[in-house]
Amino acid sequence: MTSDKPLVLLVEDEPAQREILRYNLASEGYDVSIAENGDDALVLVDEIGPDLILLDWMLPGVSGIEICRRVKTRRESSEIPVIMLSARSEEMDRVRGLETGADDYMVKPFSVQELMARIRAQLRRTRPASVGLQLVYDDIILDGETHRVTRNGDPVKLGPTEFRLLTTFMEKPGRVWSREQLLDRVWGRDVYVDTRTVDVHVGRLRKALCKTGGEDPLRTVRGTGYALG
């Protein structure tokens, strides 16, 4: 699972609803990981670092509202969009869900088509390249739809791995990524690659970006990893 496909964590205990959502998410091109209860959901948030969480309110064990609270109060996961799914339709329930940190709230039964539109809206904020949007940083332009990169108007030739690396950096300029985080995001969570491989590909990315001139936009953070800007 690489950064080309956003990873959605689906937290739903009802089998029929879970299967409908899993099928539609996969049909939309998302990678899907499933948790059937709150405890498993919290473990998976740490293990896989999803790009978005679809979260049922009523769950066995830890409730959805408590999961949302924990996700949003932790620095490592606070930026992950959470869409709360609930049969609770009262205004006070919606307010409680949103005030706990949910980025969106949908009442069951809901339109799956509308849910997919809301997922895309959240990912446009956090993973813009994954939905085909253009990213711009200084004089570098990355087109997520055509997979083309230019710098100061000149084309930059990148291999698939370097393109995914640059996408990761450009989606969150200034953020420092550890080598382990880059391995998960770029190479995939199910693939074993030595962390030194990250250094090699960052070096190739730097060389490609600076081939036609300009300062190196990538920053090495000693003992930690890399950042753009």
DSSP per position, 39-108: HHHHHHHHHH--SEEEEESS-SSS-HHHHHHHHHHSTTTTTS-EEEEES--SHHHHHHHHHHT-SEEEES
Q: What is the pLDDT of residue 87?
A: 86
Distance CA 165, CA 193 (A): 15
Rounded Cα distance between 179 and 184, Å, is: 9
| Integer angstrom CA distances of residue 72 from 29, 47, 50, 222 | 26, 16, 13, 29
Q: For residue 143, what is the enclosing H or E element?
A: strand 140-143
Q: How many residues does the chain have?
A: 229
Q: Check: CB of residue 118 under 8 Å from CB of residue 104.
A: yes
- Residue 199: closest CA among 172, 177, 214: 177
Report pLDDT for 154.
93
Taking the model in full, what pTM does it have?
0.72
Helices 160-171 + 196-209 axis angle, to 10: 80
pLDDT score, position 212: 83
Mean pLDDT by 10 residues, the chain (229 residues): 74 94 94 94 89 93 92 89 89 85 92 94 85 86 89 93 93 89 79 84 95 91 91
